[in-house]
Structure 1
Amino acid sequence: MRKLSVLALSLVLILSACAPNFGKQNSTGQTEEKTKGQAIIPKYNISDNYYRTILPFQPGEARGLVVNNINTRYDLNEFEMGLMRIAQNSFDTDKYYFREGQEIKAKTVKLWLNRKYTDAQLTEKGLKAPDNIGLNPVDTGPAGEPSSPLYLAHLLEHDYLTKDDNGNVKLAGVTIGLALNSIYYYRVQQGEGFIEKEKKIDFAEMDREGKKIAEEVVKRVRGIKSLEEVPITIALFQQQSKTSVVPGNFFAYTTVDKGSSSLNGWEKLDEKYYLFPSTDAQEAHRDDVTAFLNFKQDVEEYFPNFNGVIGRAFYTGDQLQDLNITIPIQFYGKTEGVGFAQYVTGLVIEHFPKYLSVSVNVTSVDGPEALIVKKANETEPFVYIYQ
């Protein structure tokens, strides 16, 4: 039986794809470096996949808006973490430090997310001409039936800073994510109430409109004093439907040179999430689904109180990069949970290739029971048993 290794809290955060919390530094043994009283930079970086975060923490200007504008929690997580992943093409994790967006103010973000209004609509809404800066198209359709969808759902800014020889930090670049709707939801009145309707947006249309919006965003960003000169990375994200159990994905990004307002060529991103098992996954990646189904079958043979095994697979191109598996199950004692975790750990090694990162979350009605993680190119998984 393989040895169980209890993960430290910081490792749990890495493997669950959550943003690191540098506030609890005593609990993770981190030390701090103070920079001329302006900022605190943790010396310890938990992974090359993350940036060290400027402290004290400053919440993003658009904090809270993203929850209202993004369809699912899956989309929310991928929108934030995927944007950070794209930033690494321009801003190295060893040189740059992360800060939530501070330069594009919350009021500005709200106005940009609006539609453009006609003069009559401005009067009806009680708005003034300077506020008529929405990036979504004007609606000239009849009441309740929009003439065009809302393409832009949300705008997210991330700031990247550098430190000079004197320990002073300064803004050195920004990334901006544009979350675009693949399905537009709107409400129409029916009787005394309202019903929600939806309209699917073709990818080509979403791609075209998203790139037009990106060009306008860059022009406006250059009008913000603190962002006049810094290099910019801007990325397009396709969010999924409200009922999706897998997140959307970034599909293109571009860069803007320091001091310029012209976009460099768009880089295509071939990323996608699949639900295992599903028809889409079976058609696109039959061999990977077969390995998952064999794993699932062995899990079912072990434990009679089995409720299901679900996987979320992340691909770049045709290559499976990461597989996150959830196993909901009912235990009647802690020893059952330990034995099950040991058995599943062996199955992870047996069924999945060495190059693949795999994480397994075992849950029950009482909450999380075990976390099993095999990193890419490591043979011995880490296992955490929740107490």
Structure 2
Amino acid sequence: MKMKKQSKFYSLALTALLSVVTAGCSFWPGGGQKNNLPPNPTITSVVAVSEDYYGSIVPYKPNQTRGMLAGNSYRIDFSRLELGLMEIARDTFPTDEYLFQEGQQIKAEQVSEWIAQYNIKAPDGKKKTGLLVNVLEHDYLEKQQKQLAGMVLGISLSPIYMDATGKEKTYNTDELRAKGQQVAARIVQAVRADNPQIPIVLALYQVPDKNSTLVPGHFIMSGTVNANETAISKWQPINEEYFLFPSDVAEKNYAQQSLQFDKFKRQTQNFFGEYIGMTGLGRFMGGKLTELTITATAEYDSRTEVLQFTQFAAAAIDEAFDKSVHVNLYVQSINRPLAIYIRPASGEPYMHIYRQ
């Protein structure tokens, strides 16, 4: 995130907050004259945000398939899935030309039918696995007319399948990409029946292992359907990975980054002379660490201790990790957040200490 854009976002947020506070003062005794207030507050039809993110329209319409995964045995980190879809969308639908809206074209009943087509029961009739886990739709509206101008479909896939004997096996990445392309082709045909003209971007998302509670899923491929076409014209592999620090898996695959995290962890713990639970979640793109989210948990005695720790950790981050890595630091106790520190890959860092 560029600093100029980030600063603009914070400035807009602060301006909005001050505006609300100023208006609110007129309702307090001695706070101003009520006659100065407009009789009917109005709201713009477009909500403006940072240039890095999409604006939206009001009223906000929730996704047609929201809540479908309730009770599902698969775990999907929807925050990373949705933000990842937006990242992919920017290449086709620039943020300065399009507005965002949650999916309104695909109904929950359609997605349920698609998922059911890929459900397979084991010979014993007890276990059941399915290649297709979920389909998430994002819509993009032309900024001036506010008409639907594009779609992005996140197709969540499970690599687990059962052979003829009912034994669970796992597709490797290339196999899952091939299977996912077949699923995507069928979904595009169905979607094209109601939306024949708009371009569609597809993103294949591999759900995390069922036993994994901290490591999210990841994108493995993206494809494009041009306007007025019915077939996917281009597929591009995505080499995205997530690793938990510290862990044997991370140490095996990325030894250097594991050493860097261990050094950072020791530095911060030695400075305070007490136990601080610390984990990191690294995002790798094409084998390169691009984002690291660090969570530091302890029982802090005072806000000044939180401030000192966060400042020390910020300095240690600059020493341990390359400036090209976007780093998020979350400082918390068992029950509540205490501080955040964000160091973007480009631009100035940002720190906030919670007062309550």
TM-score by structure 2 length?
Answer: 0.82
2:208 aligned residue: 240
Q: CA 1:70–1:313 in structure 2 vs 1: closer, same or farther (change >3 Å)? A: farther
8 Å contact kept, 2:51–2:95: no
Say which of 125, 139, 151 aligns to 2:131: 151
Displacement of 1:28:
7.9
Aligned equivalents of 1:184, 1:351: Cα separation in 2: 41
1:307 aligned residue: 276
Q: Which of the pair has the greater relative contact order for Cα pairs under 8 Å at 6+ separation?
A: 1
Aligned equivalents of 1:161, 1:206: Cα separation in 2: 31
1:161 aligned residue: 141
Structure 2 runs not aligned, ≥5 long: 1-5, 21-41
Say which of 158, 167, 171 aligns to 1:181: 158
Displacement of 1:139:
4.4
1:282 aligned residue: 251
Where 2:269 maps in the other structure, the secondary structure is helix
2:187 aligned residue: 217
1:351-371 deviation digits (Å, cap 9, x = unpaired): 222222111101102311110
Aligned equivalents of 1:141, 1:286: Cα separation in 2: 42
2:34 aligned residue: none
2:108 aligned residue: 106
One-letter amino acid of the structure 2 residue matched with residue 321 of structure 1? T
Aligned equivalents of 1:279, 1:172: Cα separation in 2: 46
Aligned equivalents of 1:369, 1:46: Cα separation in 2: 25
1:132-153 deviation digits (Å, cap 9, x = unpaired): xx3x15548342255xx30000
Aligned equivalents of 1:281, 1:348: Cα separation in 2: 19
One-letter amino acid of the structure 1 residue matched with residue 306 of structure 2? G
Aligned equivalents of 1:248, 1:333: Cα separation in 2: 37
Displacement of 1:38:
12
Q: CA 1:28–1:151 in structure 2 vs 1: closer, same or farther (change >3 Å)? A: farther
Displacement of 1:330:
0.9
Where 1:65 maps in the other structure, the secondary structure is coil
2:46 pairs with 1:41: yes
> 1:325-340 alignment to 2 at 5 Å?
325-340=294-309
Displacement of 1:314:
0.7
8 Å contact kept, 1:229–1:258: yes
One-letter amino acid of the structure 2 residue matched with residue 102 of structure 1? Q
8 Å contact kept, 1:222–1:228: yes
One-letter amino acid of the structure 2 residue matched with residue 154 of structure 1? N
Query: Identity percentage over the alignment?
Result: 31
Of 352-361 and 302-311, the range deviating more from structure 2: 302-311
One-letter amino acid of the structure 2 residue matched with residue 219 of structure 1? Q
8 Å contact kept, 1:230–1:258: yes
8 Å contact kept, 2:207–2:218: yes
1:348 aligned residue: 317
8 Å contact kept, 1:306–1:330: no
Q: CA 1:145–1:386 in structure 2 vs 1: closer, same or farther (change >3 Å)? A: closer
Aligned equivalents of 1:353, 1:312: Cα separation in 2: 16
Number of matched pairs: 321
Indicate the RMSD between aligned Cα atoms, in angstroms. 2.8
> 1:1-387 alignment to 2 at 5 Å?
26-27=16-17, 40-42=45-47, 44-48=48-52, 50-69=53-72, 71-72=74-75, 75-114=77-116, 134=117, 136=118, 139=121, 141-146=123-128, 149-164=129-144, 168-183=145-160, 199-203=168-172, 204-224=174-194, 227-244=195-212, 245-378=214-347, 380-387=348-355
Structure 1 runs not aligned, ≥5 long: 1-6, 12-21, 31-36, 115-133, 186-196
Where 1:253 maps in the other structure, the secondary structure is strand
Q: CA 1:145–1:362 in structure 2 vs 1: closer, same or farther (change >3 Å)? A: closer
Aligned equivalents of 2:73, 2:81: Cα separation in 1: 9
One-letter amino acid of the structure 2 residue matched with residue 84 of structure 1? M
Q: CA 1:84–1:68 in structure 2 vs 1: closer, same or farther (change >3 Å)? A: farther
Q: CA 1:54–1:28 in structure 2 vs 1: closer, same or farther (change >3 Å)? A: farther
One-letter amino acid of the structure 2 residue matched with residue 71 of structure 1? Y
Aligned equivalents of 1:105, 1:25: Cα separation in 2: 39
Aligned equivalents of 1:311, 1:170: Cα separation in 2: 41
1:280-306 deviation digits (Å, cap 9, x = unpaired): 222222222211111111011022332
Q: CA 1:52–1:28 in structure 2 vs 1: closer, same or farther (change >3 Å)? A: farther
TM-score by structure 1 length?
Answer: 0.76
1:22-61 deviation digits (Å, cap 9, x = unpaired): 9x9953869xxxxxx998112x32241x211122100010
Aligned equivalents of 1:28, 1:270: Cα separation in 2: 43
